[in-house]
């Protein structure tokens, strides 16, 4: 079995890589399709809800302005709706809210300063985890290809075969059966 693994034919190796490539492409396509908005041109209400869901409710815990019924959240939602209707850019609206409440009001931290760290950490962790897995698989592969039996093990097997008087493992198996 060890020799079969170490001398895997190129076609088999290619098939194995092809499976991985297909998996990665399928996952990427599924993510891309899932991330697309339901309609190409979202309505004002949909845009309001989308933007409101990027703002934390200032007087609640764990709720966004899109979901909360607190008076402050309702007022903020109305403000967002009115400003979007007036043609204001979403980024400008968020910046206005942030200028009053501070950066903590945003669901997604800005990719600047300490916020950049928050964005980078998951990427770095994913890269480290991927690298670690690749290194572990490579190490396990090397371990599997190398002969785990020591010279003493080989001597023990040879000794057993001699004393059992069996020429081949097949003959010994037939005896046992």
Partner 1 sequence: MTAPTTVTAVPARRRLVLWVAAGTGCVLAALVTAFAFVGPPPDTTQLLGRPAPAVAGSNLGGGGRPVSLRNYAGRWVLVDFAASWCVPCQQELPKLQAFARSAARYHAALITVAESPSDGPALARYMSAHGAHWPAVQDPQAVVSYGVTGIPTVFLVDPDGIIVGYYPSGVSPSGLDSFIRTAGASGVS
Give the footprint of partner 1 on this chain (CB under 8 A): 58-59, 71-72, 74-76, 79, 99-104, 113-114, 117, 121, 132, 143, 148-150, 152-153, 156
Sign, CA dihedral 2-4-18-34, equals: negative
* Helix (H/G/I), strand (E/B), else coil: 106: strand
- Closer Cβ to partner 1, 37 or 131, answer by number: 131
Q: How far is the CB of 174 from partner 1 (least distance, A)?
A: 24
Query: Can you say how many angstroms the Cα of residue 98 is from the centroid of all Cα atoms in its chain?
Result: 30
Q: How far is the CB of 134 from partner 1 (least distance, A)?
A: 14
Half-sphere exposure of 151 (CA within 13 A, CB side): 0
- Closer Cβ to partner 1, 28 or 136, answer by number: 136
- Closer Cβ to partner 1, 159 or 174, answer by number: 159
Q: How far is the CB of 58 from partner 1 (least distance, A)?
A: 5
Beta carbons of 60 and 70 less than 8 angstroms apart: yes
Q: How far is the CB of 46 from partner 1 (least distance, A)?
A: 22
Q: How far apart are CA 69 and CA 107, in angstroms?
A: 17
């Amino acid at each position: 079995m060890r020799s079969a693994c170490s001398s895997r034919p190129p076609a088999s190796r290619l098939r194995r890589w092809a499976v991985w490539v297909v998996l990665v492409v399928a996952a990427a396509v599924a993510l891309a399709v899932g991330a697309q908005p339901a309609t190409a041109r979202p309505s004002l209400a949909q845009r309001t809800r989308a933007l409101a869901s990027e703002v934390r409710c200032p007087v609640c815990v764990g709720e966004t302005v899109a979901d909360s019924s607190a008076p402050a959240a309702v007022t903020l939602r109305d403000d967002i709706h009115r400003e979007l209707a007036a043609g204001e850019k979403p980024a400008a609206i968020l910046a206005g809210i942030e200028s009053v409440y501070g950066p903590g009001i945003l669901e997604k931290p800005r990719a600047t300063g300490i916020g950049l760290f928050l964005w980078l950490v998951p990427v770095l962790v994913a890269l480290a985890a991927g690298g670690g897995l690749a290194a572990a698989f490579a190490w396990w592969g090397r371990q599997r290809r190398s002969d785990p039996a020591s010279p003493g093990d080989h001597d023990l097997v040879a000794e057993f075969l001699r004393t059992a008087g069996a020429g081949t493992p097949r003959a010994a198996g037939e005896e046992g059966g």
